[in-house]
Amino acid sequence: MRLRTSAKVAAAAALGAVALSAPAAARPVWQEPATGPSIDRLRETLLRPGELKGFTPLDCPTVRTDAVEQTGFVAGLREPLAADGARGESVAAEFRTRAAASAEAARALGAAPGATYAVAGIPGGHGYTTFAGNGYGVVFTVGQREYELHVQFAFTQSSKRAAVAAAARVVYHRALGH
């Protein structure tokens, strides 16, 4: 089964606050899990159960298969997450170059709704809080890989910002090989 969406569309579903303006031709295709060296490396770095308290994967990560060639995209995974009264996703993507990964991170952060801030413990990592104050996200790169963690709570929980940042730091250190 193939599902047409984009990283921004997926974030919009999780956050309910991003405008869906990408034309259908620009949206990547996500499909059921696959294997391969890039996919297997990315799968190892996704958020794991227990790393963000209460959140668990809804099902297997889906694979992005048709990214636009000029972006330098190699492979990507998107894993939906759920908790009592909250939803989110963990995203990992590999690009041909560091510059391409950084450009995707900048694009993702630029599309994020609300205020942005630096994330302590993740060099170059940035987080955001949604305008409503009930959603948080972190975007960062490690070499040629770009990572995103998005979480939407049913109500404002400012204490969760630190928990989302801490979970992103765990993914960051795993991506570094620590």
Q: Is the pLDDT of residue 3 over 80?
A: no
* Contact present, 71 and 100 (Cβ < 8 Å): yes
pLDDT > 70 in the chain, percent: 72
Q: What mean pLDDT is predicted for residues 14-42? A: 47
Q: Is the pLDDT of residue 67 over 70?
A: no
What is the Cα–Cα distance from 162 to 174, expressed in whole angstroms? 19
When mean pLDDT is compared across 17-21, 26-30, 42-46, the lowest value belongs to: 17-21
H runs (alpha helix) in the chain: 7-15, 37-45, 98-110, 160-176
Q: Which domains does the chain have, with CATH numbers?
A: 2-176 (3.40.1000)
pLDDT at residue number 66: 55
What is the Cα–Cα distance from 18 to 2, expressed in whole angstroms? 23
Q: Is the pLDDT of residue 98 over 60?
A: yes
Q: What mean pLDDT is predicted for residues 120-129? A: 94
- Angle, CA 90 vertex, CA 128 and CA 18 arms, to 5°: 45
